Chains A and B, each alone.
Chain A
Amino acid sequence: MASRRANLEEPAQLIQPLCSSWEDARDLLREWREENLRNSEQVVEVGDFLMQRGLAGKLGDEVWPAYEQIFLAALECGRLELAQVCYKQLRRQFPGSLRVAKLEAMRYEFLQKYDVAEQKYHKILEEDEANSAVHKRLIAIHKAQGKIPEAIKELNKYLERFMSDHEAWLELANLYIAELEYGKAAFCLEELIMANPQCHLYHQRYAEIRYTQGGTENMELARKYFAQAAKLNPTSIRALFGLFLAASHLASQQKGGGTKSSKSENKKYAAWAAKQIQERYEALGQSEDSQLKALTATLDSLELS
């Protein structure tokens, strides 16, 4: 993009470079690997930093997972030449590795040569039938081709076998939500909650699905699970908002003295949640802030007389 203001001083660089030393680069890549982030654009920047200065070797043994990470990010960003460099290093270091073979097949996915990619995946499965990552790549190919019903079908089959794969259950839930199949998405979350009863995210997501389905029974479930999420993670604003909304809905639908939970109980839950939320926002110390005003108005308008 040609400079449009050659005569004027350029304003200070808006976005700072991510790293200025190989140690920074190594730490960032490690952190992102541990958190399983999908921030390809940033990984490529760090990858470029290391490669262009010939600093990759400084990473010691960590360079191998780093090459894999940069390879995947480079494919995502269309940087085929950077991916090639990483791939060659990995191939040389780990000849005959199935993990590297999988990366080669992913390159064909990037080139949209799905038939070739599928062939290569099946070849890996001939040697290692229980390779779950490769099974998932085959499902990803369906997704890449927009074949969502096939992806859902295959993912269900996969989960019958690899039922402790949390990532896969979440992916299936997301596919169902996109198809508005909320009941099936809820089932996926139920599996996740059973396996991880302490994970507030699953409780919260389950509550959101039930809330979206609507109806009194689902709303009661939503309120319960939002409450549980808030209990497991008292800092979760989503859980508090969800609890507020679900309790308010229930209170507005009920006559006094209901069966499961009464109108007055729900009003109390809603009021409690609203107070928690209000306090969190006020603690930010921006009392005249338009956002705080908007929030107050929201809580007032959603609450009932």
Chain B
Amino acid sequence: MAEIEISVRSYVKLVLHAAKYPHCAVNGVLLADRKRYKDDKIVCVVECVPLFHLALGLAPMLEVALSQIDAYCEQNKLIIAGYYHANEHVKDSSPNAITHKVMERICDNFNDASLYMVDNTKMTPDMEDAVFRVYALQEGKFKERNPDSITLDEQCLSAASGLLNQKVFRNMVDFDNHLDDITQDWLNNHLNEVIEIHSW
């Protein structure tokens, strides 16, 4: 299994999405650099696309979202390399039937994909620790990956903490928001600069 590197931008967007909807289950995908994987066998996660906060278990809008994101990946030499999921209940950080369904779909395209299960209790403004645990899907079961094989960029935690404190999650756009109003940008380009400033 390949090593994983997580960029500040992807980590921050994941955290902001979860923070925007604290009372909902949320999910999204993580995109990795295709060349880095091909050349060095490293899953270098460079982007995060938040998907839904409503009715996560339904297929049609998920298909629409994944198709559009796939097309975006094709154009930008990326690949859908991960899926993150935060459960509704604060104490529930276990994978469930929905995470299975989506991961199977993602692993069909990229068998080194991982599941990032958010531990809701770690979603604090202090951000001392990564908010997720990472799992691989092996023979239909989720097995936690060795935490040493996952490296967060050293600015991830402080950038996420800073932007949480500044309530930047209010400007976060997920695919549900986009489907309600297509002028909203599911790539969150408007946040990239802000994240950049907070991550040097």
Also in contact, A291 and B158, with CB within 8 A (given A11-B197, A15-B167, A298-B68): no
Q: Which of B55, B75, B97, B171 has the most CB of A within 10 A?
A: B55
B170 smallest CB distance to A (angstroms): 6
- Is A291 touching B58 in the complex (CB atoms < 8 A)? no
Return the CB mask of B53-68 against A: 1 if under 8 Å, else 0: 0011111110110011
- Is A1 touching B71 in the complex (CB atoms < 8 A)? no
- Is A15 touching B170 in the complex (CB atoms < 8 A)? yes
Instruction: Name the CB-closest residue of A to B69.
Output: A294
Q: How many A-B contacts are there with CB distance less than 8 Å?
A: 115
Interface size class of B (residues with CB under 8 A): 35 or more
A143 smallest CB distance to B (angstroms): 8
Instruction: Name the CB-closest residue of A to B58.
Output: A208
Within 8 A of B (CB), among A153-194: 174, 177-180
Which stretch of B29-37, B105-113, B134-142, B180-188 is in the interface?
B180-188
Interface size class of A (residues with CB under 8 A): 35 or more
Instruction: Name the CB-closest residue of B to A241.
Output: B64
- Is B71 touching A294 in the complex (CB atoms < 8 A)? yes
Partner among B71, B97, B167 whose Cβ is within 8 Å of the Cβ of A41: B167
Cβ of B165 under 8 Å from chain A:
yes
Interface of chain A: mostly helix, strand, loop or mixed: helix
> How far, in whole Å, are A302 and B171 apart by their CA atoms in the complex?
31
Cβ of A22 under 8 Å from chain B:
no
Q: In the assembled complex, which residues on chain B have CB atoms less than 8 Å from the CB atom of A143?
A: 89
Instruction: Name the CB-closest residue of A to B61.
Output: A238
> Could you write out 19 A-B pairs with CB less than 8 Å apart?
A1-B161, A14-B166, A14-B171, A146-B91, A177-B55, A180-B57, A207-B60, A208-B55, A208-B58, A212-B57, A242-B60, A245-B60, A284-B183, A290-B72, A291-B186, A293-B72, A294-B75, A298-B67, A302-B63
